[in-house]
């Protein structure tokens, strides 16, 4: 029986996410055996520094890619938002699975259960490791203070519950759902309060770009709508040259053949911001493709089973929106945010 080795981070959430992908693959390919290989990444080891300060693009992916390169694993399951928009040569995202809830959620300290961010007492401290969340929420809720909190989900919840430092913490709703901790969600943040991170709520399967066998194997996992939304989001971020060290956020929706993309940039304290919405017509009906493309990758993603025209339209939408913001002065906001973040 052929064994397919699947790489993952060691955290409980990463294991749950990987197990869910492997379960689907097992059902699709009963003749194959799947073996999970768990490892720690730089981001898992450096826990005393804010993510945006570590200055490493592939914080949660480098060690896993190293194993992929050395042929120790055949595919790796990631949270898509951890994957940079430009992957190292030789790698590609071979599948993007159906997105779960992409929004952010607020988990409150037991003594504040029933509250919302709006009704928390003045100067309450809210924990988040994300500049994107802090910038947007500072603007929206000026009576609150935002402070970095690191560690995996279990660690962060323990820090919230056992110490009196934080009144609430902000986490991705999808992660809480996957862990079975929906009951802890006190508030879901909607786009008008806090737009989400590029790729949030979706899982990406990274493979060796030249490994056609594995690409074919995982390609069936692509969810067309999630794929096209995430191509647009990733193209927007890539064109802005955003990353962990600047506050960039998005919101996408697909309706009646139209893909809507809202994107925004913020200064670190949220006082300066800029956002716009654009839409594009996307045709997702299957079409006959003439021969393989030389470089089928778009923003690091390979999806030969989804119409190329639809993918290009989604990518173009992301680039157009980023260009619009850059023309209106977004570069200045991002440059200042980057410099301030580096200086702190």
pLDDT single digits (tens) 94-121: 999 999 999 999 999 999 999 999 999 9
- The answer to whether residue 193 is domain-embedded is no
Euclidean distance between CA atoms 128 and 151, whole angstroms: 11
Q: What is the pLDDT of residue 9?
A: 86
Residue 89 to residue 295: CA distance in whole angstroms: 12
DSSP state of 306: S
Instruction: Output phi, psi for 150, to 5 deg.
Output: -120, 175
| 128 in the same domain as 53 | no
Residue 18, CA distances (Å) to 15, 37, 72, 223 in order: 5, 10, 17, 17
Q: Which structural domain, as residue segments, surrounds residue 180?
A: 104-188
Q: Which pLDDT score, from 0 to 100, does residue 20 have?
A: 97
Q: What is the pLDDT of residue 256?
A: 93
7 and 150, same domain (yes or no):
no
Q: Which residues contact 149 (CB under 8 A, 6 or more apart)?
A: 127, 128, 129, 156, 159, 160, 166, 169
**Residue 134 and residue 48 share a domain:** no
**221 and 170 housed in the same domain:** no
Answer yes or no: do 111 and 149 share one domain.
yes
In CATH, what number is assigned to the domain containing residue 71? 3.30.160.40
Residues 325 and 223 in one domain: yes
Q: Are residues 224 and 320 in the same domain?
A: yes
Contact indicator for 104, 186 with CB cutoff of 8 Å: no
Alpha helices in the chain (DSSP H): 12-28, 42-45, 51-54, 62-69, 131-140, 153-162, 173-178, 212-219, 224-240, 308-327, 330-343
For residue 255, tell me if it sits in a domain: yes
Query: Could you give the number of structural domains in the chain?
Result: 2
Q: What is the mean pLDDT of each run of 10 residues along the chain (344 residues)?
A: 92 94 97 92 51 48 85 94 90 96 97 97 95 95 94 90 96 96 97 96 96 96 97 96 80 96 94 96 67 72 93 97 95 88 73
Q: What pLDDT, on the 0 to 100 scale, is given for residue 262?
A: 98
pLDDT value of position 296: 76
Of residues 82, 290, 294, 335, which has the active-site annotation?
82
Residue at which a domain ends, from 143, 158, 188:
188
Question: pLDDT (tens digit, 9 = 90+) per residue, 40-68?
Answer: 765 555 445 454 444 444 555 678 888 89
Is residue 235 located within the same domain as residue 286? yes
Q: Judge whether 216 counts as a catalytic residue.
A: no
**According to the model, what pLDDT value does residue 295 have?**
61
pLDDT for residue 215: 96
180 and 151 within one domain? yes
């Amino acid at each position: 029986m052929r064994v397919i080795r699947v790489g993952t981070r060691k955290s409980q959430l990463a294991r749950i996410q990987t197990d869910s992908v492997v379960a689907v693959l097992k059902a699709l390919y009963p003749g194959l055996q799947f073996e999970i290989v768990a490892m720690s990444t730089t981001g898992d080891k450096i826990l005393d520094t804010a993510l945006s300060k570590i200055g490493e693009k592939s914080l949660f992916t480098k060690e896993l890619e190293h194993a992929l390169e050395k042929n120790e694993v055949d595919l790796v399951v990631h949270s898509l938002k951890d994957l940079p928009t430009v992957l190292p040569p030789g790698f590609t995202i071979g599948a993007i699975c159906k997105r779960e809830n992409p929004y952010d959620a607020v988990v409150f300290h037991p003594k504040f259960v029933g509250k919302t961010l709006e009704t928390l007492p003045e100067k309450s401290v809210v924990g988040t490791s994300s500049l994107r969340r802090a910038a947007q929420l500072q603007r929206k809720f000026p009576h609150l203070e935002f402070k970095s909190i690191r560690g995996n989900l279990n660690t962060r919840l323990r820090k919230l519950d056992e110490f009196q430092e934080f009144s609430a913490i902000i986490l991705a709703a999808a992660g809480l759902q996957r862990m079975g901790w929906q009951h802890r969600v006190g508030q879901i943040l909607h786009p008008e309060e806090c737009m989400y991170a590029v790729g949030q709520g979706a899982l990406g399967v990274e493979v060796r770009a030249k490994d056609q066998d594995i690409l074919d194997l995982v390609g069936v996992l692509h969810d067309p709508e999630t794929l096209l939304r995430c191509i647009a989001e990733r193209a927007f971020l890539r064109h802005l040259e955003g990353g962990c060290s600047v506050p960039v956020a998005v919101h996408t929706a697909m309706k009646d053949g139209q893909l809507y993309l809202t994107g925004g940039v913020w200064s670190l304290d949220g006082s300066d911001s800029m956002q716009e919405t654009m839409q594009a017509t996307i045709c997702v009906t299957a079409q006959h493709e003439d021969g393989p493309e030389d470089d089928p990758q778009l923003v690091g993603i390979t999806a030969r089973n989804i119409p190329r025209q639809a993918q290009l339209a989604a990518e173009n939408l992301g680039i157009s929106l980023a260009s619009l913001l850059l023309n209106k002065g977004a570069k200045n906001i991002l440059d200042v945010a980057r410099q301030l973040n580096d200086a702190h």
